[in-house]
Amino acid sequence: MATIEVNEALVRKVADLARLALTDEEVRLYANQMKVTLGYVDQISKVVVPEGTEPMVTPLEIATPMREDRVVPPMTTPDGKPKMIRPAPETVYEGFKVPPIL
Amino acid sequence: MLNEKYRTISQVHDAFDRKELSSVDLTRDTLAAIRASKHNAFLLTMEDRAMAAAKMADQILLQHGKVPRDTHPLLGIPIAIKDNMVIDGVRTTCASKMLENYIPPYTGTAVDRLEKAGAVFVGKTNLDEFAMGGSNENSAFGPVEHPTFPGYVPGGSSGGSATAVKAGFCIAALGSDTGGSIRQPASYCGVVGFKPTYGRISRYGLVAFASSLDQIGPFTNSVEDSATLLEVMGGHDPLDSTSSERPKEPYAANVRKKLEWKGLRVGIPKEYFIDGVDPSVKKSVKEAIEWVAKQGATIVDISLPNTPYAVSVYYIVAVSEASSNLARFDGVRFGVRPPNAMEVEDIADFYKRVRANFGPEVKRRIILGTFALSSGYYDAYFHKACQVRRLIKNDFDRVFKECDVILGPVAPSTAFKKGEKASDPLKMYLNDILTIPCNLAGLPGMSVPCGKDEKGLPIGIQIIAPQFRDDLVLNVGHAFETGYTGGGR
């Protein structure tokens, strides 16, 4: 891990993957801070993990509990409109309005 | 500030029974105190809803003659909710510009269960944006003041809830704890803060930060009240597949049972008393442990050797999960859409314009998480961190064969001054070293006030138990809180 060079180009690339637009000043700041943080977390590369150590992704005892596949009615407003659409910034015909992408 | 006489559920309920207080009067006074406060602990007060709930509580009181504690254990109790938990029709911001106008269409399970038990919600409390921070300085709506030390941080991320309980703006408040966000502010502010076992309380309706670590829990003025809130909120919820199907226990009745200190094996991890921990914190916690030993408990010196890696593991796992969870803020289904967002050639630009609403700490963590999950770095960072997480969990499994509970400090220091760590993210992250292991292993942990430093700032002692031994944490916490008179609390 120690060989990774954290620079502004890396921050720009990662920000693009995360769909974040950064100013030049932010890129400089985050590159410096990322260098420091990754420099610190690099310590885990030195931890000797016994062979066969399963990565722990959840503290749960049972990973995937099963349940009956049952249809439940959607949430609606008193006038019968779908409730989940209510917080949308823009709607059209009871759907989410998005910019044209084709 | 509420009347000093009414700081716990039983004090309020006894006053209701004696007809010395009504829910309407208590709620009106509470709302007035919040309005007059300068702490910035609340992002919203729920005046109409609170007064309607209070009137309903008074009607139930009238019908029954006294509080029906079995059916309404929280009747008329003013409670505040951290603003990352949704209530149908009540604005929920996560202290972010991204959700400035978000009105959720449903209510989260924990909150719903409180309301059905008779709670009166007085408002939504301030936090670090999306619960990312340890000082409450990352809120898009301004920092929260420490309840008793102006100019100091209340801790975070649930700093608004901790301040609200300490300053007397409610009897209890909900927080969420991903790496210490309940226990650390509870320690800084001098209240009880409880993070139950992962999966004990449903997370449905809690805006996700890091899904394998997040846990809802209470802030209260007594351990007994935390037990009552856990009993109300706990238990399986079909709407959260990570909520445990284990039946919940009668925590409130059990907590009042006398704890037999004799025979209790108390583990003291040497890694929790390292150089980075302030001498005043060490002294105070050690005095408390000496008292525990005098009560007849057996003190066991233990070692959790992978503790030094906890912060590194956490700041890979948590930010990775966060980068994935926060991908949902795309400006389509909810969130703020800037006026120019639709005038784009490329959908990526649309997302970028929307996601400009995130604050600096959130962006920092999304970038770090996206990096840790990205092709070429995944194995070295995320995969390795998950393996070391397993070693941390194994440490706990091993020591819990030697001891029943673990005692230690909550945070390396007491509350610090605003701005002191704001420009150094790593310094802020390292402050979580003693609370993070609990989240990584999914264990229950609690902060109970145990003393003060030389300035008078509160210090908390942390009680940790094995998974689903929330009852033991509560039992030990209650016995300590009601028995220990030292530490100048």
pTM for this predicted structure: 0.97
Distance from CA of B467 to the nearest CA of A (A): 9
* CATH hierarchy code of domain B1-489: 3.90.1300.10
- Burial of A16 from C-beta contacts in 10 A (0-12 / 13-18 / 19+): middle
Degrees (nearest 5) of the Cα angle B61, B65, B69? Answer: 65
Inter-axis angle of helices B310-325 and B384-399, nearest 10: 130
> If you ran DSSP here, which 8-state letter would residue B448 be given?
E
pLDDT at residue A3 greater than cutoff 70:
no
pLDDT at residue A62 greater than cutoff 80:
no
Cβ-Cβ contacts under 8 Å, B464 against chain A? none
CA dist B101 and B106 (Å) reads 15
Q: Are strands B265-269 and B405-409 parallel, antiparallel or unpaired?
A: parallel
The pLDDT assigned to A63 comes to 66
Question: Which of B185, B198, B432, B427 minimizes the C-alpha distance to B307?
Answer: B432
Q: Answer whether residue A91 is part of any domain.
A: no
SS3 B140: coil
SS3 B81: strand
Amino acid in position A10: L
The pLDDT assigned to A77 comes to 86
pLDDT at residue A95 greater than cutoff 60:
yes
> If you ran DSSP here, which 8-state letter would residue B447 be given?
E
B186-226 confidence digits (pLDDT tens): 999 999 999 999 999 999 999 999 999 999 999 999 999 99
pLDDT at residue A2 greater than cutoff 60:
no
DSSP of A13-64: HHHHHTT----HHHHHHHHHHHHHHHHHHGGGGG--PPTT--------SSSS
pLDDT band at residue A65 using 50, 70 and 90 as cut-offs: confident
Q: Answer whether residue A38 is part of any domain.
A: yes
Residues in chain B: 489
The list of chain B residues with pLDDT below 50 reads none
Q: Which residues of B are catalytic?
A: 82, 157, 181
The reply to whether residue B341 touches residue A99, judged by beta carbons under 8 angstroms, is yes
pLDDT band at residue A78 using 50, 70 and 90 as cut-offs: confident
Q: Answer whether residue A12 is part of any domain.
A: yes
Mean pLDDT of all residues in A64-86: 87
Task: Determine which helix (DSSP H) or strand (DSSP E) holds B125, and give its type and residue range.
Answer: strand B120-125
The pLDDT assigned to A18 comes to 97
* Interface predicted TM-score (ipTM): 0.95
CATH of residue A30: 1.10.20
Best interface-test mutation with B: which of A14, A30, A84 has the largest number of B CBs within 10 A?
Answer: A14
The structural domain count of chain A equals: 1
Q: Would you state the structure tokens that stand for residue B284, as one six-digit string?
A: 């105070």
Best interface-test mutation with A: which of B312, B317, B355, B439 has the largest number of A CBs within 10 A?
Answer: B312
The pLDDT assigned to B342 comes to 86
CA dist B468 and A76 (Å) reads 37
Q: Answer whether residue A84 is part of any domain.
A: no
The pLDDT assigned to B487 comes to 80
CA dist B358 and A18 (Å) reads 12
pLDDT band at residue A48 using 50, 70 and 90 as cut-offs: very high
pLDDT band at residue A4 using 50, 70 and 90 as cut-offs: confident
pLDDT at residue A61 greater than cutoff 90:
no
DSSP of B300-324: EEE--TTGGGHHHHHHHHHHHHHHH
Q: Are B262 and B441 within 8 A, CB to CB?
A: no
Q: Which residue of A has its CA nearest to B315?
A: A41
The pLDDT assigned to A53 comes to 95
DSSP of B174-221: EEE-SSSTTHHHHHHHTSEEEEPPTTSB--TTBPPS-TTT--EEEEES
A10-27 confidence digits (pLDDT tens): 999 999 999 999 999 999
Residue B23 to residues B12, B76, B168, Cα–Cα distance (Å): 9, 5, 16
Q: Would you state the structure tokens that stand for residue B60, as one six-digit string?
A: 């139930």
Distance from CA of A98 to the nearest CA of B (A): 7
Token pair 């029906």 is at which residue? B68
Cβ-Cβ contacts under 8 Å, A32 against chain B? none
Inter-axis angle of helices A24-41 and B310-325, nearest 10: 140
Q: Answer whether residue A54 is part of any domain.
A: no
The reply to whether residue A41 touches residue B212, judged by beta carbons under 8 angstroms, is no
CA B201 and chain centroid, separation: 12
Q: Answer whether residue A39 is part of any domain.
A: yes
The reply to whether residue A34 touches residue B309, judged by beta carbons under 8 angstroms, is no
Q: Answer whether residue A24 is part of any domain.
A: yes
List of residues 6+ apart from B52 with CB closer than 8 A: none
The reply to whether residue B364 touches residue A75, judged by beta carbons under 8 angstroms, is no
Residue B395 to residues B310, B392, B438, Cα–Cα distance (Å): 12, 5, 11
Token pair 């890694």 is at which residue? B271
Domain containing residue A29? 8-46
Cβ-Cβ contacts under 8 Å, B334 against chain A? 87-89
**Cβ burial B274-293 (10 Å sphere, 16+ → b, else e):** eeebeebbbebbbbbbebbe
